[in-house]
Amino acid sequence: MVAGNWKMNTTIPDGVALARAVLERCGAEGTVDVAVLPPFVHLWPVREVLAASSILLGAQDVFWEEGGAYTGEISPPMLAGWCDLVLVGHSERRHLFGETDAQTAHKFAAARRHGLMVILAVGETETERDEGRTVPVVDRQLEAVLAEIDAPPPADEWVIAYEPVWAIGTGRTASPAQAEEVCAHIRAAVSARAGESPRVLYGGSVTADNAAELFSRAGIDGGLIGGASLKPELFADIVAAAALAALAR
């Protein structure tokens, strides 16, 4: 899977144009699941652009309540049935907006109650890595979610994205070996707990230049792409790299 997290970028007309460009370049992709995650207000118009394609539509966040007095929030029932997936636990939610492991777990569980596919993002800060705490931090983030739900979703209905915080938007990509090591740990930890691991993506300064090497690693099933997802030609090159890696497996 290659998923483009547009974050808080593009106006609606620019987002619709970007979706058209992604459709043009990636619409015929048959090997890799391609997803775009535009801002909330773009979801409906982007859905209209992508309607006849297999490109998945995702939201960047979701709230855990069904409805009520929660100014500014978007609930799972508002998205269910027409939006394919939601991202929860992105490091920008955790670190810029103070979202806790427990809140991320509530969001995950609420999205699943409404049948939404979920991408769960996990990852350590630079300090946590320097202190040798990468594995315990990622384990804690995963466990918070697994403890909240009765049973893990079927492996094809969720995805884990390993995004080291220090690699996001910094141009400092994790080395393929660093990324593979943590992705392999995640896969083993979730398999031990849930039976079968979902796909594990890497995110953090993925570009058209480093994608092929990252995706060639056995434990990395694709990427969650920020900056490069705003440039359709770069995003399409990353999708092509994932398709080649998938064929080589």
DSSP string, 157-213: GEEEEE--GGGTTSS-PPPHHHHHHHHHHHHHHHHHHHSS--EEEEESS--TTTHHH
Closer to ligand 13P by CB, 8 or 52: give it: 8
Interface positions with ligand 13P (CB under 6 A): 5, 90, 163, 168-169, 203-206, 224-228
Residue whose pair of structure tokens reads 């080649």 in the numeric block = 244
- In angstroms, what is the minimal distance from the CB of 52 to ligand 13P? 26
Sequence-distant (6+) residues with CB within 8 A of 152 are: 146, 158, 190, 193, 194, 195
Closer to ligand 13P by CB, 35 or 116: give it: 35
- In angstroms, what is the minimal distance from the CB of 226 to ligand 13P? 2
Could you confirm whether 163 is annotated as catalytic?
Answer: yes
For residue 7, say whether it is annotated as part of any ligand binding site. Answer: yes
Closer to ligand 13P by CB, 170 or 192: give it: 170
For residue 169, say whether it is annotated as part of any ligand binding site. Answer: yes
User: How many Å apart are CA 145 and CA 134, to the nearest integer?
Assistant: 17
Q: Is the dihedral of CA 138, 58, 62, 191 positive or negative?
A: negative
DSSP string, 48-81: HHHTTSS-EEEES---SSSSSS-TT---HHHHTT
- In angstroms, what is the minimal distance from the CB of 192 to ligand 13P? 26
Q: Please say whether the beta carbons of 148 and 193 come within 8 A.
A: no
For residue 226, say whether it is annotated as part of any ligand binding site. Answer: yes
Q: Residues 99, 128, 163, 180: which is the catalytic one?
A: 163
User: How many Å apart are CA 193 and CA 210, to the nearest integer?
Assistant: 32
Could you confirm whether 73 is annotated as catalytic?
Answer: no
Sequence-distant (6+) residues with CB within 8 A of 242 are: 1, 2, 31, 32, 211, 215, 222, 223
- In angstroms, what is the minimal distance from the CB of 205 to ligand 13P? 4
Closer to ligand 13P by CB, 81 or 171: give it: 171
For residue 67, say whether it is annotated as part of any ligand binding site. Answer: no
Instruction: Report the residue closest to ligand 13P, judged by CB.
Output: 226
Closer to ligand 13P by CB, 33 or 163: give it: 163
For residue 203, say whether it is annotated as part of any ligand binding site. Answer: no
Q: Residues 29, 42, 90, 92: which is the catalytic one?
A: 90
- In angstroms, what is the minimal distance from the CB of 96 to ligand 13P? 12
Q: How far is CA 228 from the centre of its chain?
A: 14
Binding residues for substrate: 5-7, 169, 205, 226-227
Write out the catalytic residue numbers: 90, 163
